[in-house]
Amino acid sequence: MLSQWLKDSNYTVVLTGAGMSTESGLPDFRSSNNGLWTKEDPSKIASTEALNQNVEMFFEFYRYRVLGLNEAHPHKGHEILAKWEKAGLIKSIITQNIDGFHSEAGSENVIELHGTMKKVHCQTCGKEYGNEKYAKEEFICECGGTLRPSVVLFGEMLPEDALMKAAEESEKADLFIVLGSSLTVSPANQFPLIAKQNGAKFVIINMEPTELDMFADLVVNERKIGEVLKELDK
Ligand code: APR
């Protein structure tokens, strides 16, 4: 059914979450077995409060994530999505992920709602560096300011241009596919509903149930995204 919907659709939009990158070896946040937020409280460690009140712990947490990210790479599922974009099967990817894997795999129309952990920037002067600064435990800018990953921290607003573009894409979608997200975090979890309200078919491919399953036209649980995409790609 989904492969037919993909073929029949004129404007397919994909929303990805951390479940898209677990098969690359990166932990997600809320998977019951080893999600990051089952061990740490995000508001205490991935927030502006942590950056301002507990910067040593903040540095350590994000250095650990940068080291993990720099060892990992996009998997076959990312490559299939990039191929589908080139074939016109999908028009854009809205991602909550900060790993840059969609672009690295060749996808072009990628909207990064939560920024990127491939880069860090100075809190004071805004100068950007590659994330290897954190790998090398260099946390201070040439100007003396503090360097932080260019991700959206808890307590921060999302980039306005990404929000606008994601809303535009969601309104244009006639098929909206979620891959690997618990859909617990807003405003990312609003985009499937915008698409649905505009008449799109709404599909969720996610190992575990999500908060929006009851609104979906098709839910695929207990299946790995990489396998489902390979099957659809036949
Ligand atoms: N195949 C299918 N589903 C998977 C796979 C996989 N290989 N691996 C994990 N999943 C599912 C999990 O069951 C989980 O429900 O992906 C979902 C990931 O959900 P979260 O861990 O909540 O990640 P996400 O939805 O992206 O979180 C949103 O929260 O912490 C913030 O900014 C962070 O972008 C993140 C946001």
**Per-domain boundaries in the chain:** 1-26+74-114+158-234, 27-71+119-151
What pLDDT, in 10s, does the model give residues 42-70? 989 999 999 999 999 999 999 999 999 99
Nearest CA to ligand 1 atom 5: 19
- Say which residue, 32 or 115, is predicted with more confidence: 115
Residue 37's pLDDT is: 92
The letter for the amino acid at 150 is S
- Residues of the chain with pLDDT > 90, as a percent, come to 96
33 pLDDT exceeds 90? Answer: no
Structure tokens given for 114: 């939560």
Q: Which helix (H) or strand (E) holds 15?
A: strand 12-16
Please give the structure tokens belonging to residue 123.
């809190």
The predicted model scores a pTM of: 0.97
Measuring from atom 9 of ligand 1, which residue has the nearest CA?
Answer: 19
Cα–Cα distances in angstroms (integers) from residue 90 to residues 94, 132, 169, in the given order: 11, 33, 11
Q: Which atom of ligand 1 is nearest to the CA of 224?
A: 1
Residue 32 clears pLDDT 90, i.e. is over it = no
**Secondary-structure class of domain 1-26+74-114+158-234 per CATH:** alpha beta
Question: Which tokens go with 78?
Answer: 């990312």
Give me the mean pLDDT over the 130-155 stretch: 97
Whether omega before 149 lies within 30 degrees of 0, making that bond cis, reads no
61 CB near ligand 1 (under 6 Å):
no
At position 73, the amino acid (one-letter code) is H
Return the residue matching tokens 């840059």: 100
* Mean of all residue pLDDT scores within the chain: 97
pLDDT tens digits, residue range 158-206? 999 999 999 999 999 999 999 999 999 999 999 999 999 999 999 999 9
Q: Is the CB of 189 under 6 A from ligand 1?
A: no
- Ligand 1 site, residue 182, Cβ cutoff 6 A: yes
Task: Report residue 219's pLDDT band, with 50, 70 and 90 as the boundaries.
Answer: very high
Beta strands in 87-195 (DSSP E): 92-95, 110-112, 115-122, 128-130, 147-151, 175-179
Which pLDDT score, from 0 to 100, does residue 77 have?
98
CATH number corresponding to 27-71+119-151: 3.30.1600.10
